[in-house]
Amino acid sequence: MKPNAQLIAKIAFVGAWLGVLAVAWIYGGFMKLLPEPLSSSSSLWGPVFVTLIGLGVASIVLSLFALERLGSDERKMAIGGIIGGALVIVGVGLFIWIVRAVFTGLGRI
């Protein structure tokens, strides 16, 4: 069975943008604009970050795989998956960097 490139691109697109929404929810919870997804003392933050980064990488890889097989009119989903996956990776990395800087700054007080 040959994989359908259009379906792969759609899955990567939806997965990447769900990841972007999850990262936005994490930021909103950190800034107290939204309910926090996890408590600050939860031990699940590490697995959440690893899962989101894995989702971003998988979206990029799947989109690149599908991009080669799609026609010029059908590439929008694959390109959206690449952009969304990159936003997830950068968003999680920035969040970790910001939180580390905040807690390091609090330790100096």
Tens digit of pLDDT for each residue in 78-108? Answer: 999 999 999 999 999 999 898 888 877 766 6
Q: What is the structure's pLDDT at 36?
A: 86
Specify the number of domains making up the chain.
1
d(CA 51, CA 65): 21
Tokens of 104: 């390091």
- Using alpha carbons only, give the angle 33, 101, 24 rounded to the nearest 5 degrees: 30
Q: What's CA 101's distance to the chain center, in Å?
A: 21
pLDDT at 29 over 80: yes
pTM value? 0.86
CB 64 within 8 A of CB 82: yes
- Residue 73's domain comprises 5-107
Note the pLDDT of residue 107: 63
Question: Does the pLDDT at position 72 exceed 90?
Answer: no
Q: Which pLDDT score, from 0 to 100, does residue 18 have?
A: 94
